[in-house]
Copies of this chain bind each other. A is one copy, B any other.
C-alpha cells in the first residue's frame, strides 16, 4: 500500500514538490520490449506543460525528462522505469508571503493540520506539477495499448464556465487550438472569453471529456476494482476535480430504464449510455468519461483567510496561475484514462490468460 502509487499490476509511484529539486515517477510492472525514448515522453509532457499558451500559467518548464532505469538500448526491460525532471523555473520567492497563510481553496490548511509541516512553495506536493509525471508515465501506456489493441484516447474541453464547447465535435480540431476545443467555430469565442476572464482577475471551472476507442471487451475486475471505479479514483485524484461521470452520468438520474439500457443487436449495441462499462467490465464500446474541474483558487482578487496563528488576514495570490486549470488538465485526464485501461489490460491477462479481441460486430 502506497498512497502515492496508482494501479494494480501496472503501478505508478510519483514523487516531487512543485518547487523542490525535481519531480519524478517509477513505473513498475511494465511489460518488456516496448521501444521508448525520452523525446517521445517529453513531447507528450509538453502538451500539458505550462507556458504553452497565453491562457495558462507562464511558468516555463523545459520538461527535460531523464529515463533513469528500466530501459536498455531503447527498449523497456520489465524492470522499474524511473523518470525524473529537474525543476528549472521554480520561483520560490513568489510564494514566501503565503508561508504563514492558508490560501482559500488550496491544500495549505489541510496539509498544515495533517502534517504540522508543509513545503508551501508553489503548493509543494499538492501542486498540479505532480501531474506532469502522470502524463510522462502514460506515454508508455498509450503506446503499448495502441500497439497491442489499437486503443485510441482523445480528451477535449466540453465546457468552459458556462460555454459549451463540443456542440460540434471534430477530433481533428482539438490539437489545433490551445483550448483542446473540438469545435472550430467556438475557438475565437473562447479567446474572447479568456481575455475577459483574465482582465477580471477571476477564474472559472471546466468540463473535460475523454473517450477511449478500441478497448477490448472484458477489462475490469469486480467488485472493488471495477473499471469505472478505478477510473473514478483516477480522475478524482487529479487536482481540482470535483466530479466524475461515466457514460450518461448524472443525466441517468432523470432517465427511464427503457431509455438508458443500451439494447443489443447482432450488429452491436444501439446506444452507449453505459459509457462502455457494464458491471465494472468493458463492453468493447468506447469508454466515456466526463470530469468536472473547479475554478483556480489562486486569484489576484483579495480574499479572506487566516494565518497559522488563526488570525484573520487578507490574501492575494500573485504567482503565475492558470485562469482555468481545466484546460491544461486535458492531457492529464487522457493520461489517467490510458494508465487505468492498461492496468486492467494486464490484470485481465493475469487472471484470464488472454485478452478477448474487441468485438468487431459491435459498432462503436
Interface string of A251-265 (1 = CB under 8 A from B): 111111111111111
Interface string of A202-243 (1 = CB under 8 A from B): 111111000000000111111111101111111111010111
- Contacts A69-B20, A261-B105; A293 near B205 (Cβ below 8 A): no
- Contacts A3-B222, A15-B81, A117-B32; A253 near B124 (Cβ below 8 A): no
A95 at the interface (CB under 8 A from B): no
A72 at the interface (CB under 8 A from B): yes
Nearest CB on B from A361, distance (A)? 7
Nearest CB on B from A362, distance (A)? 10
> Which of the listed residues A218, A270, A310 has the most CB atoms from chain B within 10 Å of its own CB?
A218
A334 at the interface (CB under 8 A from B): no
Provide the bound-state CA to CA distance between A231 and B303, in Å.
Answer: 29
Contacts of A326 in B (CB 8 A): 253
Contacts of A184 in B (CB 8 A): none
- Contacts A107-B281, A261-B105, A305-B264; A6 near B115 (Cβ below 8 A): no
Interface size on A, residues (CB 8 A): 154
Q: Pick out which of these stretches binds chain B: A22-30, A46-54, A166-174.
A: A22-30
Set B30, B84, B237, B284: member contacting A224, Cβ < 8 A? B237
Interface string of A302-321 (1 = CB under 8 A from B): 01111000111000000000
Nearest CB on B from A225, distance (A)? 4
> Which of the listed residues A110, A126, A228 has the most CB atoms from chain B within 10 Å of its own CB?
A110
B118 touches A202 (CB 8 A): no
Provide the bound-state CA to CA distance between A253 and B159, in Å.
Answer: 8
Contacts of A257 in B (CB 8 A): 105, 202-204, 295-297, 299, 301
A279 touches B110 (CB 8 A): yes
A110 touches B282 (CB 8 A): yes
Contacts of A256 in B (CB 8 A): 161, 202-204, 295
- Contacts A78-B115, A222-B3, A278-B110; A349 near B356 (Cβ below 8 A): no
Contacts of A273 in B (CB 8 A): 294
Provide the bound-state CA to CA distance between A98 and B229, in Å.
Answer: 27
> Which of the listed residues A113, A228, A249, A311 has the most CB atoms from chain B within 10 Å of its own CB?
A113
Provide the bound-state CA to CA distance between A226 and B238, in Å.
Answer: 10
A181 at the interface (CB under 8 A from B): no
Near B by CB (< 8 A), chain A positions 43-72 give: 66-70, 72
A110 touches B220 (CB 8 A): yes
Contacts of A111 in B (CB 8 A): 279, 281
Interface string of A151-167 (1 = CB under 8 A from B): 00000000101100000
Interface string of A192-204 (1 = CB under 8 A from B): 0000000000111
A260 touches B295 (CB 8 A): yes
Contacts of A281 in B (CB 8 A): 107, 110-111, 113-114
Set B75, B118, B263: member contacting A117, Cβ < 8 A? B75
B3 touches A29 (CB 8 A): yes
Set B15, B207, B223: member contacting A250, Cβ < 8 A? B207
A125 at the interface (CB under 8 A from B): yes
Task: Identify 8 residue pairs between A and B in the complex whose beta-carbon atoms are under 8 Å apart, listed by A's number.
Answer: A1-B8, A16-B82, A17-B70, A109-B217, A110-B279, A113-B359, A224-B233, A257-B297
